[in-house]
Amino acid sequence: MAKKKATVSFDTAYQELQGILEQLQSEDSLDNLEAQVKKATDLILACKGKLRELDTLVDKTINPDD
């Protein structure tokens, strides 16, 4: 059975990405790299989704007849 992904707000996802970046920059160990990259990828996809939704909304607002 596939896992259902929780919805995360753009701001929360962005803050988590910033935290991952800081952690990766400060750590010498690569032990957590795979997990951090996976988490960052999921957060980036969530942010892209939110931005696409916003772009669609703005486009519909600007061009209601299209």
Using only C-alpha atoms, what is the Rg of the chain?
16
Q: What is the pLDDT of residues 55-65, one digit of tens each?
A: 999 999 999 88
* Residue range 11-57, pLDDT digits in tens: 999 999 999 988 888 866 677 788 888 999 999 999 999 999 999 99
Query: Please, is 39 exposed, middle or buried when counting C-beta atoms within 10 Å of its C-beta (0-12, 13-18, 19+)?
Result: middle
